[in-house]
Amino acid sequence: VRAPMVAANWKMNGSRAICREFLQHFDVDGSLDVVLFPPFLYTSILTEGFAERSISVGVQNVCNVSSGAYTGEISAEMAVDSGATYGLVGHSERRNLFGESDVLVAEKFMACQRAGLTPVLCVGESFEERLEGRAESVVAGQIDVILKSVGIKTFANAVIAYEPVWAIGTGETARPDQAQSMHAFIRAFLTKFDATTAENTRVLYGGSVNASTAAELFAEGDIDGGLVGGASLEFKEFAKICRSVSR
């Protein structure tokens, strides 16, 4: 059985004050995996503050190499040293705004696993790709690049997040049946490589999830939780989304 997971991607938002609000007021019941992805600078505040609670912290990006003369970069090892346990890889904003290639995304995925961070691999098609009927092949291609680098077995320690680009930050959530259909496709795709891994790998949905859309999405059989952007910065709203997971 896959444990549900709800994750907050704050993107380049948040502050020490918002961290303190979460530390003071945000809590969830222990059978749900909750992960907060703040900007790097706030990692330690949250990991130290949440040390006694079952709330995990992750980083939104890692460098593909471990250390050295890479001004401005932060390694997966440093994230682990700061108490992080997850790393986002391949978010569409990284791919599109910062030109991250499939090869770089694969290297970052491996950098996470090398350091002991669980990678959360983000995949998803653009609006044009969906219109052209290529949504499934685009998503399969993004996963395949990683499979070719690391092999199916390493997915035992990874999470996939399906984030259709047209649904991110647009207020246009994918319909539950639309999302479910892609999640089932992703699981079927993984099954071709290894049925057990496919059955155990969590696939989260991301794209304009909020407290009113979460429950319907999370009720779908292959949607194992969510990766929430805008609606995750306010602890009450995010707590509501976490409570939308039915077990």
Enzyme catalytic residues: 91, 163
Least Å distance, CB 173 to ligand 13P, is 8
Cα end-to-end distance, the chain, whole Å: 11
Interface residue with ligand 13P among 227, 239, 241, 242 (CB under 6 A) is 227
Cα-Cα-Cα-Cα dihedral of 141, 178, 222, 151, to 10°?
Answer: 0
- Pick between residue 152 and residue 214 the one whose CB is nearest to ligand 13P: 214
Stretch 64-93 residues interacting with ligand 13P (CB under 6 A): 91
* Between 121 and 146, CB nearer to ligand 13P: 121
- Establish if 142 lies at the interface with ligand 13P (CB under 6 A): no
Q: Residues in contact with ligand 13P, total (CB under 6 A)?
A: 14
Q: What is the DSSP letter of 82?
A: T
Sequence-separated (6 or more) residues with CB below 8 Å from residue 194: 152, 153, 155
Q: Give least dist CB 165 to ligand 13P, A.
A: 9
Choices 129-137, 144-152, 224-232, 235-243 (CB under 6 A): range interacting with ligand 13P? 224-232
With the CA atoms of 53, 59, 64 and 69 taken in that order, what torsion angle do they form, in degrees rounded to the nearest 10? -100
Nearer to ligand 13P, 113 or 208 (CB): 208
Report the nearest approach of ligand 13P to the CB of residue 196 (Å).
27
Smallest distance from ligand 13P to CB 139, Å:
15
What is the distance between the alpha carbons of residues 120 and 144, in angstroms, rounded to a whole number? 15
- The answer to whether 181 touches 189, Cβ cutoff 8 Å, is no
The yes or no reply on residue 9 touching ligand 13P (CB under 6 A) is: yes
Residue 202: phi and psi, rounded to 5, are -80, 135
Characterize the bridge pairing of strands 118-123 and 203-206: unpaired
- Distance set, CA 149 to CA 12, 30, 102, 106 (Å): 29, 34, 11, 7
Whose tokens are 């990766």? That residue is 227
We find the least distance from the C-beta atom of residue 58 to ligand 13P, in angstroms, to be: 11
Single out the residue of 109, 125, 229, 239 in contact with ligand 13P (rule: CB under 6 A): 229
Q: Which is nearer to ligand 13P, 115 or 227 (CB)?
A: 227
Bridge partners, residue 225, by sequence: 5
Asked if 244 touches ligand 13P (CB under 6 A), the answer is: no
Chain residues in the site for ligand 13P (CB under 6 A): 9, 91, 163, 168-169, 206-209, 227-231
